[in-house]
Amino acid sequence: MPGKSLVVYLTAGWPDRATFLKAAKVAAEEGADLLEVGLPFSDPIADGPTIQKTSSAAIRAGMNYDRALDLSQRLPPGLPRALMTYANPLFVRGWAGAFGEIRRAGFAGCILPDVPAEELVTYLPFRPRGFYLVPFVAPTTADDRLARVADAARDGAFIYMVSLRGITGARLSAAAEREIAGRVRAIRRVSHAPVYVGFGVRSGAWAARLARLSDGVIVGTAALEALRRGLGPFGRLLRELRRSIDIRPPAI
């Protein structure tokens, strides 16, 4: 992907199936490079209140693993996508079978926020050819673990840099920005995989600053909050983010 990447998170089937598909189309039109589709889960430990609420609402409306994969086959064909899911739904199906199903549904990879890199590497042999798994790096990740993170980021995978200590939806600060810069530099010493920064991306200004430090940004909570207000606000937010990360502010 040329330039800086914009990754947009949507909860599968939320706020309803038709709007979910329309939102994905808007994301493609507004320049998203990758769609992160969240599989609704009953115990989303890494997610903040907004994503938890959308996940619960989707489950109440009947969304589940099979329906999410079926629905995802109707997403815009030109927009790459990765499935964000916790490990348990895949574990109960068997890793090889689940990865195959996810790949056949059109996903290029899988994001597993509750699986550490050391464990993620053990699942790599179960993937279909060309299917990637995304490792996470947190502000608390020790330097001596980064080589294991790099080892997991194979076959087109990116590294998901968690910008904050805590759950999704928290807010960024100047101190967090400095910490992120240091973590990204450390990652680059051991890996050539792109580094995308997520958690706390709420405005064009912050997206631009984080994109300057990394290869792209992931927007989740802010995207869902905008979509709750309608497709218009959702599209305007993505347009602001796309323009902001393309401008690239001067170094500070």
CATH number, domain at 189? 3.20.20.70
pLDDT at 148: 93
Query: Does residue 69 belong to any structural domain of this protein?
Result: yes
Q: Report if residue 252 sits inside a domain.
A: no
> Is 217 within the bounds of a domain?
yes
In this predicted structure, what is the pLDDT of residue 140?
82
Look up 114 and say whether it is catalytic.
Answer: no
**Tokens linked to 225:** 């909050």
The SS3 of residue 203 is coil
Residue 142 domain flag? yes
Dig out the tokens for 121 from the structure. Answer: 């590497």
Task: Check residue 47 and give its pLDDT.
Answer: 74
Instruction: Please list the residues that pair with 109 across neighbouring strands.
Output: 82, 132
How confident is the model at residue 165, as a pLDDT? 56
Residue 120 lies in a domain: yes
Per annotation, catalytic residue among 47, 114, 144, 179: 47
pLDDT value at position 225?
A: 97
For residue 160, give the nearest of 84, 55, 234, 245 by alpha carbon: 84
Q: Which range of residues forms the domain containing residue 125?
A: 5-247
Residue 56 has which token pair? 């619960």
Residue 28 domain-assigned (yes or no): yes
Q: Is the residue at 239 inside a domain?
A: yes
Number of domains in the chain: 1
Which regions of the chain are under pLDDT 50? Answer: 1, 166-170, 250-252
At 54 the pLDDT is: 96
Rounded to two decimals, what is the model's pTM? 0.92
Is 215 catalytic? The answer is: no
pLDDT in the model for residue 169 = 44
Tokens standing for residue 233: 């606000």
In a domain, residue 118? The reply is yes
Exactly one of 16, 29, 30, 36 is catalytic; name it. 36
